[in-house]
Amino acid sequence: MSSSSLIVATALLLALLLEGSNAQLSATFYSSTCPNVSSIVNGIVQQALQSDVRIGASLIRLHFHDCFVNGCDGSILLDDSSSIQSEKNAAPNVNSTRGFDVVDNIKTSLESSCPGVVSCADILAIAAEASVSLAGGPTWSVLLGRRDSTTANQAGANTSIPSPSEGLSNITSKFSAVGLDTTDLVALSGAHTFGRAQCRLFINRLYNFSGTGSPDPTIESSYLATLQQTCPQNGSGTTLANLDRTTADTFDNNYFSNLQNNQGLLQSDQELFSTTGSATISIVNSFSSNQTTFFQSFAQSMINMGNISPLTGSNGEIRSDCKKVNGS
């Protein structure tokens, strides 16, 4: 082979390899290999909701915490092992993330219908959509074709997942670090329209905000009184409060009117509306005044989040057990 044709051949090979790693996700990825994947996932989420009204909220949060750490690659699902330091034990996840048993049930069912085909990372994306639509929220066409990681990144989970008390500018930076903008931040925060939070994650706002010895001045007074009852000063930090005080288990746009009424539960929620001069305020107002606008933005932002650095092509693997790397 001449040196010029060798260069062309190498360039072609490189282009092919790059194409492999950048391959686009697709809504029809499993249409021939596992055509019923969505209805199987939907059915199991629906069944789980019968005994646990909160489970949909817990499942969408898993997808978020997966995608923010090395991309949407199922890394959050791996248990501790000799080679894995589980993300489950990172600060944002430990004693907080839940729903892993439901993911395992989904995996078991899919392995019997279409063995070795559907990734755990895609299960999280499909379960997130099912959870939102079953709670009355928007539906969207989930893009698929992610593969599963063979590693976890506990340190990454500690640094990349936003904390509720770190302030709007840091949180905005963490979204921007994964390619998500301010509209994505406000829309996706709207997932706090359902689910619960533990007292320990917002109690500083109720009694001693930022070391002031007083409550967060942005909390509306009757809501403050209610929250102080739910979370007494020397009570259990694991007691739960609804993230959306008006419609706790429904996916709607009331989260945004709560913010307008100074009734956001987490500091990170209320700051979207209460930070003077912030670009987030007008977005909150627009989602609060028009649920359709919120639903459309939410669906688009879920697709954006689901596109964070997926493993595709021949990268990664299809785990047969979401908790373990194959062969380990």
Question: From residue 43 to residue 82, what is the string marking binding to ligand HEM with x (rule CB under 6 A)?
Answer: -----------x--xx-xx--x------------------
Instruction: Decide if residue 324 touches ligand HEM (CB under 6 A).
Output: no
Helix (H, G, I), strand (E, B) or coil at 292: helix
Instruction: Decide if residue 145 touches ligand HEM (CB under 6 A).
Output: no
What's the rounded Cα separation, in Å, for the pair 273 and 4? 60
**Of 234, 267, 221, 243, whose CA–CA distance to 56 is shortest?**
243
Q: Is 193 annotated as a binding residue?
A: yes
Instruction: Decide if residue 134 touches ligand HEM (CB under 6 A).
Output: no
If the CB atoms of residues 153 and 304 are measured against ligand HEM, the closer one turns out to be 304
63 is catalytic: no
Residue in 110, 120, 123, 191 binding ligand HEM, rule: CB under 6 A:
191
Alpha helices for the chain (secondary structure H): 3-22, 37-51, 55-67, 100-113, 120-134, 154-160, 168-177, 182-189, 204-207, 221-230, 254-260, 267-274, 280-289, 291-306
Number of residues that bind ligand HEM (CB under 6 A): 26
Q: How far does Cα 15 stand from its chain's mean position?
A: 32
- The answer to whether the beta carbons of residues 90 and 75 sit under 8 Å apart is no
What's the rounded Cα separation, in Å, for the pair 169 and 165? 11
Judged on CB neighbours under 10 Å (0-12, 13-18, 19+), 96 is: middle
Q: Is 192 annotated as a binding residue?
A: yes
If the CB atoms of residues 271 and 317 are measured against ligand HEM, the closer one turns out to be 271
In the set 54, 63, 65, 107, the catalytic residue is 65
Using CB under 6 A, which residues numbered 251 to 290 contact ligand HEM?
266, 268
Q: Is 122 annotated as a binding residue?
A: no
Residue in 49, 124, 201, 206 binding ligand HEM, rule: CB under 6 A:
201
Over its C-alpha atoms, the chain yields an Rg (Å, rounded) of 21
Question: Residue 26 region, left (φ>0) first, then alpha (ψ -120 to 50), else beta?
Answer: beta
Instruction: Decide if residue 195 touches ligand HEM (CB under 6 A).
Output: yes
In angstroms, give the least distance from the CB of 13 to ligand HEM: 39
In angstroms, give the least distance from the CB of 60 to ligand HEM: 5
What's the rounded Cα separation, in Å, for the pair 56 and 275? 30
Judged on CB neighbours under 10 Å (0-12, 13-18, 19+), 101 is: exposed
If the CB atoms of residues 196 and 324 are measured against ligand HEM, the closer one turns out to be 196
Q: Which residues are catalytic?
A: 65
Question: Residue positions in the annotated binding site for substrate?
Answer: 162
Annotated binding-site residues for Ca(2+) read: 66, 69, 71, 73, 75, 87, 193, 244, 247, 252
Q: Which residues are at the interface with ligand HEM (CB under 6 A)? A: 54, 57-58, 60-61, 64, 96, 98, 162-164, 171, 185, 188-189, 191-192, 194-198, 201, 243, 266, 268
Residues contributing to the annotated binding site for heme b: 192
